[in-house]
């Protein structure tokens, strides 16, 4: 595969577009929500800064490695054939360098935070890197992706307190369910391709109707986990209002897609889920500070 020549800055921008860097917004607000609750307010700026570095490093390493691992699959899929690696806009070597640097940022940030964060950083890396292989052997790949994002609230809690709190695990469970639910919706786009290539996804395994039912149950479970998290931390009515708004957004997200009509998948996936995470952060912040 011939790689297109470009300046280092241009290549970096291409990589950031390739990994959809802006989608860090999905998990980041839940990490920050966990941070605020664990700290009972805003933590020291140093802790906040290293949490941001860890989040960006972990997601960037995971997404770039995923593009490397799936380069041949992406090239064969009409929906993804225009991505940077299949088109030769970025070399495999360049992608590997970016992956290693991003992983290093996670480990560095964890080291600067506390001993437990540093000790668990290889586990976090193994989890987010391992996701790239799951679609080759299990239809539960959606749950593994959920785990990758679900690490964020636990990691932020550890960053602030130096321990793994039960409440953060409950929030993590909510994020896992939320992510798996919207990933099932997103995977509907590749239903026929997955079957043709013998890749695993829930829609290709049990059909789109049943897969969407599972997605809806997972999103209902996510709202239940948000309520439980609030109860564990003595949150006020402000927080529960936020959980209710999130629930309404998830209902609307589910209404955008059916087994017979996936034309609005992108709106369901990108717009609605970005709103869900930011709304939750806004209400958590309002509860904590007000």
Q: What is the CATH number of the domain that holds 44?
A: 1.10.357.140
In-domain check, residue 1:
no
In-domain check, residue 18:
yes
**Is pLDDT at 23 greater than 90 in this prediction?**
no
In-domain check, residue 62:
yes
Range of the domain at 244: 8-289
In-domain check, residue 29:
yes
Q: CA triplet 11, 183, 77: central angle to 5 degrees?
A: 55
What's the pLDDT tens digit per position in 155-164? Answer: 999 999 999 9
What's the pLDDT tens digit per position in 43-102? Answer: 999 999 999 999 999 999 999 999 999 999 999 999 999 988 999 999 999 999 999 999
Give the integer Cα–Cα distance in Å for 26 and 176. 12
In-domain check, residue 3:
no
Q: What percent of the chain stands above pLDDT 70?
A: 98
CB-count burial class (<10 Å; 0-12, 13-18, 19+) for 30: buried
Half-sphere exposure of 257 (CA within 13 A, CB side): 29
Lowest mean pLDDT among 211-215, 218-222, 260-264, 267-271: 267-271
Q: How many domains does the chain have?
A: 1
In-domain check, residue 231:
yes
Task: Look at residue 152 in the predicted model and tell me its pLDDT.
Answer: 95
In-domain check, residue 259:
yes
What's the pLDDT tens digit per position in 156-191? Answer: 999 999 999 999 999 999 999 999 999 999 999 999
Assign 263 a pLDDT band (cuts: 50, 70, 90): confident
For 245, list phi and psi in degrees, rounded to 5. -65, -40
In-domain check, residue 178:
yes
Assign 19 a pLDDT band (cuts: 50, 70, 90): confident
């Amino acid at each position: 595969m011939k790689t297109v020549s470009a300046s280092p800055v241009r290549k970096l921008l291409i990589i950031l577009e390739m990994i959809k860097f802006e989608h860090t917004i999905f998990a980041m607000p839940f990490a920050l929500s966990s941070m605020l609750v664990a700290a009972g307010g805003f933590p020291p700026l140093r802790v906040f800064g290293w949490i941001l570095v860890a989040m960006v490093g972990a997601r960037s390493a995971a997404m770039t490695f995923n593009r490397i691992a799936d380069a041949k699959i992406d090239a064969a899929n009409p929906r993804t054939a225009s991505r940077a690696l299949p088109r030769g806009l970025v070399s495999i070597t360049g992608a590997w360098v970016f992956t290693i640097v991003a992983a290093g940022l996670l480990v560095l940030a964890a080291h600067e935070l506390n001993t437990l964060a540093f000790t668990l950083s290889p586990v976090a890396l193994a989890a987010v890197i391992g996701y790239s292989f799951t679609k080759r052997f299990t239809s539960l790949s959606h749950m593994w992706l959920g785990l990758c994002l679900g690490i964020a609230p636990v990691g932020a809690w550890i960053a602030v307190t130096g321990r793994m709190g039960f409440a953060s695990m409950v929030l993590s469970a909510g994020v896992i369910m939320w992510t798996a639910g919207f990933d099932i919706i997103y995977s509907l786009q590749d239903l026929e391709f997955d079957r043709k290539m013998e890749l695993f996804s829930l829609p290709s395994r049990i059909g789109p109707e049943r897969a969407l039912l599972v997605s809806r149950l997972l999103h209902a479970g996510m709202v239940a986990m948000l309520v439980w998290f609030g109860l564990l931390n003595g949150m006020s009515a402000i927080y529960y209002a936020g959980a209710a708004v999130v629930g309404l957004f998830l209902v609307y997200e589910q209404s955008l897609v059916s087994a017979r009509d996936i034309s609005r998948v992108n709106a369901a996936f990108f717009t609605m889920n970005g709103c869900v995470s930011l709304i939750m952060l806004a209400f958590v912040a309002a509860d904590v500070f007000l």
